[in-house]
């Protein structure tokens, strides 16, 4: 099989006329069309029918992030306008703390018209609660990480690239007068950053329609668009059917619109996104044996990242004698890098082969989703955490095996995009038939367009051919590991 990094992005192209891109949403969210791809069989309904298509007793997981007024306009003394898109908080680092801060904050940003901004502060006047205040923006120097031996950090001159995987931008410090929070400043002077492919200015109606009805946690610069179709009535029907609902948070970055410019996907750097998952959501996933229906690709990436985070913890703190997991009160920086799901399995498989299959210390090489989630729960218990905070750069491409997501609700994505690769990894070559059907049956595309529910043909196989285990099966996993690797390794 071709290495995932060698996948040619040109093989994931299709013709998308501009008139098929929905520039505005429908008046009624749940009257959008819903394509159903059920193990290769394609049909269509309306989104309002979604509750009828979900199995009773299943778990539905959605992203409750809320889009902020992230596009800001400032002016030089000469009158030249500079556009700033705020991406991620730097000081204070925590989103909610940053939004509630008064007087000064620093963000990582993208700047349009950067050549106009050589030096000095930019200014803008904004009215909040009837009072006009001045907001200032200034490029800043940023300290490198502390040096060994306790030496003071060196200040680097801005502009600075963002950290690897998040794109290119600047650190910008914003200051303002008055008793107002940064959230109030953004609400007063900011503009909603609707997708560039809509080719229009944001309108007042977008403040309502470009948010999901269940959005709660501010931080995204793009909406989790599969969730835009839900209405209170659809959610109520889902609840009445006995389908459990859980929410998680992934703040969508501007990288979601970043095109793949390299010929092969190995040359594309994924942006980093921050995730937050409550303990009750982890518990719900465990009750459902580590399986869930994901609303949107952001939920998909978060759920699949949870598996790899749990796997990492299970390797670090393996099963203890008698079952269960060793616990630690050591808090770790939890992150899933772009190619980690592909490279770690390969590297550890070779290491296991070199050390001999009898070495059971590596039996957690590929734990079940349930075991990975239980490792996360044990980590949260040991550190008294109600919310798990982590970050992910995971890229999901053909060749990836899904661990937690069993069904996916998603819109129709741009040609040659990482999101289309994610869909292809889920339903295989059927993505061609799905998109051909949507194009020939008047479906609307992209953020404000129609949606689909994808059900893959699993053929009763389990992830990577591994057996599924219960909650106390550490030792049975060890017994099976040698059998598994005799199949995997030459």
What pLDDT does residue 163 have? 37
The predicted model gives 72-76 an average pLDDT of: 94
When comparing pLDDT for 322 and 243, which is higher?
243
Comparison of pLDDT for 205 and 357, the residue scoring more: 205
CATH topology of domain 4-66+212-475: QueA-like (3.40.1780)
Global confidence as pTM: 0.85
Helix (H, G, I), strand (E, B) or coil at 169: coil
Give me 372's structure tokens: 């990975």
Share the mean pLDDT of the chain: 84
When pLDDT is cut at 50, 70 and 90, the band that residue 73 belongs to is very high
pLDDT at 95 over 50: yes
Q: Which of 161-165, 209-213, 306-310, 377-381 shows the lowest mean pLDDT across its residues? A: 161-165
- List the single range of 150-159, 160-169, 227-236, 435-444 with lowest mean pLDDT: 150-159
Mean pLDDT along residues 281-296 = 98
Phi, psi of 213 (to 5 degrees): -70, -15
Cα distance between residue 3 and residue 342, in whole Å: 9
The listed range with the strongest mean pLDDT (148-162, 179-193, 315-329) is 179-193
- 418-429 pLDDT, tens digit each: 999 999 999 999
Contacts of 248 (CB under 8 A, 6+ apart): 61, 62, 63, 64, 275, 276, 277, 278, 281, 299, 302, 303
- Name which of 18-22, 41-45, 47-51, 332-336 the model is least confident about: 332-336
Confidence of residue 376 (pLDDT cuts 50, 70, 90): very high
Mean pLDDT of 459-474: 40
* Helices 297-316/369-382 angle, 10° precision: 70
461 pLDDT more than 60 = no
Residue ranges covered by each domain of the chain: 4-66+212-475, 70-191
């Amino acid at each position: 099989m071709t290495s995932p990094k060698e996948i040619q992005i040109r093989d994931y192209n299709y013709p998308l006329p501009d008139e098929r891109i929905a520039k505005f949403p429908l008046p009624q969210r749940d009257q959008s069309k819903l394509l159903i791809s059920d193990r290769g069989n394609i049909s269509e309904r309306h989104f309002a029918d979604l509750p009828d298509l979900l199995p009773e007793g299943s778990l539905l997981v959605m992203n409750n992030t809320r889009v902020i007024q992230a596009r800001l306009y400032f002016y030089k003394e000469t009158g030249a306008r500079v556009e700033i898109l705020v991406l991620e908080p730097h000081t204070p680092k925590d989103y909610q703390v940053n939004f509630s801060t008064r007087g000064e904050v620093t963000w990582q940003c993208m700047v349009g018209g950067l050549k106009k901004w050589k030096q000095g502060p930019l200014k803008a006047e904004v009215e909040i609660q009837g009072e006009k205040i001045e907001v200032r923006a200034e490029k800043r120097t940023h300290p490198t990480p502390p040096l060994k031996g306790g030496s003071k950090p060196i200040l680097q001159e801005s502009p600075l690239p963002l950290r690897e995987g998040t794109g290119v931008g600047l650190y910008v410090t914003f200051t303002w007068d008055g008793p107002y929070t940064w959230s109030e400043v953004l609400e007063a002077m900011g503009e909603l950053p609707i997708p560039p492919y809509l080719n229009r200015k944001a309108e007042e109606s977008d403040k309502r329609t470009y948010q999901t009805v269940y959005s709660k946690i501010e931080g995204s610069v793009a909406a989790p668009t599969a969730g835009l179709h839900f209405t209170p009535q659809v959610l109520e029907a889902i609840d009445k059917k006995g389908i459990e609902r859980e929410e998680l948070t992934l703040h969508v970055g501007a990288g979601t619109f970043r095109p793949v410019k390299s010929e092969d996907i190995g040359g594309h750097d994924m942006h980093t996104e921050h995730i937050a998952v409550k303990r009750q959501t982890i518990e719900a996933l465990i009750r459902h044996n580590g399986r869930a229906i994901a609303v949107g690709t952001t939920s998909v990436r978060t759920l699949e990242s949870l598996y790899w985070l749990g796997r990492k913890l299970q390797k670090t703190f393996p099963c203890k004698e008698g079952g269960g997991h060793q616990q630690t009160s050591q808090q770790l920086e939890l992150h899933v890098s772009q190619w980690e799901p592909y490279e770690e399995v390969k590297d550890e498989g070779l290491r296991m082969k070199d050390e001999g299959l009898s070495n059971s210390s590596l039996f957690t090489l590929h734990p079940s989703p349930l075991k990975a989630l239980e490792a996360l729960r044990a980590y949260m218990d040991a550190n008294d955490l109600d919310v798990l905070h982590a970050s992910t750069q995971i890229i999901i491409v053909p060749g990836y095996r899904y661990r937690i997501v069993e069904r996916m609700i998603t819109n129709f994505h741009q040609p040659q995009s990482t999101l289309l690769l994610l869909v292809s990894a889920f339903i295989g070559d059927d993505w061609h038939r799905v998109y051909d059907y949507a194009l020939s049956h008047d479906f609307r595309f992209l953020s404000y367009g129609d949606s689909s529910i994808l059900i893959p043909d699993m053929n009763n196989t389990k992830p990577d051919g591994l057996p599924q285990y219960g909650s106390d099966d550490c030792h049975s996993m060890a017994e099976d590991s040698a059998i598994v690797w005799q199949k995997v390794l030459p």
